[in-house]
């Protein structure tokens, strides 16, 4: 494999022959010399399938690992409020180590969260240490309800790279309506106490606080930024609301777009659920589109397998099948 990710062995002629054989299942039509998917001409590039038969993206630069499946809150903008399909409540330390050993050579960012709250994981700091010793960066995104002084000090003394708080703390009434049963004053106190300890320690992970832009918070965003920009955080972020493939009510400030934009997730990101199931993106919390399982096969092998390659093909060519999770996804169909 060359540095660009394109297979470099063999002559161009032999590659073309090999490609035609491989593409038979994808609708290659040798009579007309163009490729189609399910009998339909591809709308973007007639030769894209041949290109994709050879091109495999480099291993991802960042991964989402669903280390904790549960959450103590039932936020109305999160699928946790509706309930997720049963899976192991936590990723095992053994499985985590195997994943890190497989992907660490590129020194990726490993995000220790996906569907649930990471702080309750009993081996959280072992996971952070494991990834850190293998030169991986790590990140945690937390609702801060369980952020005690003891946990704050452990986070500050750990090799954790990034820490972000999901707060939506525009006001007590708004926050508590959005994030039951959390209490605004207590969570704000937890965050500010962490920031005080961080100042005293003179270091620690890069720290951000985040609010989701939606109809409930849109008019309060300026106040939120003003409230936190001098608090000691490194960044105040605004995240756009998503419907998680229709799992929660649409509370977006602006409606869904009509333009198609190829999604970057199958080319840049690795997402793994608590049982090892690999999914195409961080929005597939229920494993609607399993691409493999790292408990049975290394991630790098799954990344190169036909399931991933086929997904990249339909994403690039705009031939996403109707009814699959990528169809009408918030991140794929938006204003252009």
Portion of the chain with pLDDT greater than 70, in percent: 81
Q: What is the pLDDT of residues 49-60, one digit of tens each?
A: 555 555 689 999
- Cα separation, 252 vs 212, in Å, equals 10
Q: What is the pLDDT of residues 109-134, one digit of tens each?
A: 999 999 999 999 999 999 999 999 99
Q: What is the pLDDT of residues 194-214, one digit of tens each?
A: 999 999 999 999 999 999 999
Mean pLDDT on 164-168 = 95
The token pair at 288 is 């609607």
The yes-or-no verdict on residue 25 having pLDDT over 60 is no
Portion of the chain with pLDDT greater than 90, in percent: 68
Q: What is the pLDDT of residue 1?
A: 38
Q: What is the pLDDT of residues 263-280, one digit of tens each?
A: 889 999 999 999 999 999
Average pLDDT value for the chain: 84
- The helix, strand and coil proportions of the chain, stated in percent and rounded to the nearest 5, come to 35, 15, 50
Q: Which stretch of 30-44, 145-159, 224-238, 291-305 has the lowest confidence by average pLDDT?
A: 30-44
User: In this structure, are residues 167 and 209 in contact, taking their beta carbons and an 8 Å threshold?
Assistant: yes
The yes-or-no verdict on residue 72 having pLDDT over 90 is yes
User: In this structure, are residues 219 and 174 in contact, taking their beta carbons and an 8 Å threshold?
Assistant: no
- Cα separation, 155 vs 87, in Å, equals 27
- Cα separation, 158 vs 22, in Å, equals 48
Q: pLDDT band for position 8 (50/70/90)?
A: very low
Mean pLDDT on 242-247 = 89
User: In this structure, are residues 270 and 65 in contact, taking their beta carbons and an 8 Å threshold?
Assistant: no
- Cα separation, 136 vs 157, in Å, equals 17
- Cα separation, 204 vs 58, in Å, equals 31
Residue 318: name the closest of 43, 40, 41 by CA.
43
259 or 250, greater pLDDT: 250
The yes-or-no verdict on residue 178 having pLDDT over 90 is yes
The yes-or-no verdict on residue 3 having pLDDT over 50 is no
The yes-or-no verdict on residue 325 having pLDDT over 80 is yes
């Amino acid at each position: 494999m060359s540095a660009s990710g394109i297979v470099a062995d063999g002559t161009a002629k032999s590659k073309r022959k090999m490609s035609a054989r491989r593409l038979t299942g994808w609708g290659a039509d040798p009579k007309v010399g163009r490729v189609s998917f399910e009998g339909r001409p591809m709308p973007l590039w007639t030769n894209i399938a041949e290109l994709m038969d050879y091109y495999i993206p480099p291993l991802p630069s960042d991964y989402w690992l669903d280390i904790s499946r549960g959450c103590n809150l039932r936020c109305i903008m999160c699928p946790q409020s509706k309930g997720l399909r049963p899976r192991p409540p936590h990723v095992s330390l053994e499985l985590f180590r195997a994943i890190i050993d497989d992907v660490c050579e590129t020194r990726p960012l490993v995000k220790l969260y996906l569907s649930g709250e990471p702080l309750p994981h009993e081996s959280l700091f072992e996971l952070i240490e494991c990834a850190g010793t293998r030169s991986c960066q790590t990140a945690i995104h937390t609702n801060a309800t369980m952020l005690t002084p003891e946990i704050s000090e452990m986070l500050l003394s750990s090799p954790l790279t990034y820490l972000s708080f999901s707060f939506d703390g525009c006001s007590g009434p708004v926050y508590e309506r959005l994030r039951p049963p959390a209490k605004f004053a207590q969570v704000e106190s937890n965050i500010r106490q962490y920031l005080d300890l961080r100042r005293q320690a003179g270091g620690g992970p890069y720290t951000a606080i985040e609010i989701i832009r939606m109809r409930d918070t849109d008019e309060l965003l300026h106040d939120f930024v003003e409230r936190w920009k001098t608090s000691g955080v490194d960044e105040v972020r605004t995240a756009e609301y998503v419907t998680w493939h229709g799992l929660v009510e649409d509370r977006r400030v602006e409606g869904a777009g009509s333009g198609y934009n190829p999604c970057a997730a199958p080319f840049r990101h690795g997402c793994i659920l608590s049982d090892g199931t690999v999914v195409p993106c961080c929005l597939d919390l229920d494993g609607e589109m399993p691409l493999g399982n790292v408990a049975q096969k290394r991630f790098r092998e799954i990344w190169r397998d036909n399931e991933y390659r086929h997904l990249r093909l339909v994403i690039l060519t705009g031939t996403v099948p109707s009814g699959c999770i990528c169809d009408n996804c918030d991140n794929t169909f938006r204003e252009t």
